[in-house]
Amino acid sequence: MALANTQTAVQRWHEMLETRDMSILNDLLADDVIFRSPVAFNPYVGKQIVFFILSNVIEIFENFTYHRAFYTSDGMSVVLEFSANVTEKKLKGIDMICFNDQGKIIDFEVMLRPKSGLEALAAQMGQRLAAFTPKV
């Protein structure tokens, strides 16, 4: 059952990327989701900030393409390999996504290379995060 929920959630993730329907992202994120950024030492915790980060990264990435998916044997996690551009910088990376039993994202970690692509992303996200003000 867990694998089916995870696979359905991953299909919804791809649908969200194709359609840019951010309500899908809102549905996929657990309230206490944790986001582990390749440029920040401490993780970001909570649906509001993780929604903000992921929806902005989707806007920043150009020519974003997933290449492969690897599911864990317990069906609770997936690793998605991708490539993208940030301005003229190319990057390669993986999204490591863990789900709960309901198919909600509870942990999202990103790893990126090379350093030049990571720095370009960090610069653009830094500007956007500086403008982020949580709703209370």
The stretch 8-19 carries a mean pLDDT of 95
* CA-based end-to-end distance of the chain: 36
User: What is the band of 123 on the pLDDT scale with cuts at 50, 70, 90?
Assistant: confident
**CA 116, CA 90: separation in Å to the nearest integer?**
8
Q: Looking at domain 2-130, which CATH architecture does it have?
A: Roll (3.10)
The model's confidence at residue 136, banded by pLDDT at 50, 70 and 90, is low
DSSP sequence for 1-25? -HHHHHHHHHHHHHHHHHHT-HHHH
State pLDDT tens for residues 76-92.
Answer: 999 999 999 998 999 99
DSSP 52: H
Token digits for 85? 């551009």
Question: Which residues lie closer than 8 Å to 11 by C-beta, 6 or more apart?
Answer: none
Mean pLDDT of 110-123: 91
- The model's confidence at residue 3, banded by pLDDT at 50, 70 and 90, is confident
pLDDT of 1 strictly over 70: no
Domain residue limits, the chain: 2-130
- CA-nearest of 80, 98, 96 to 17 is 80
pLDDT mean across residues, the chain:
92
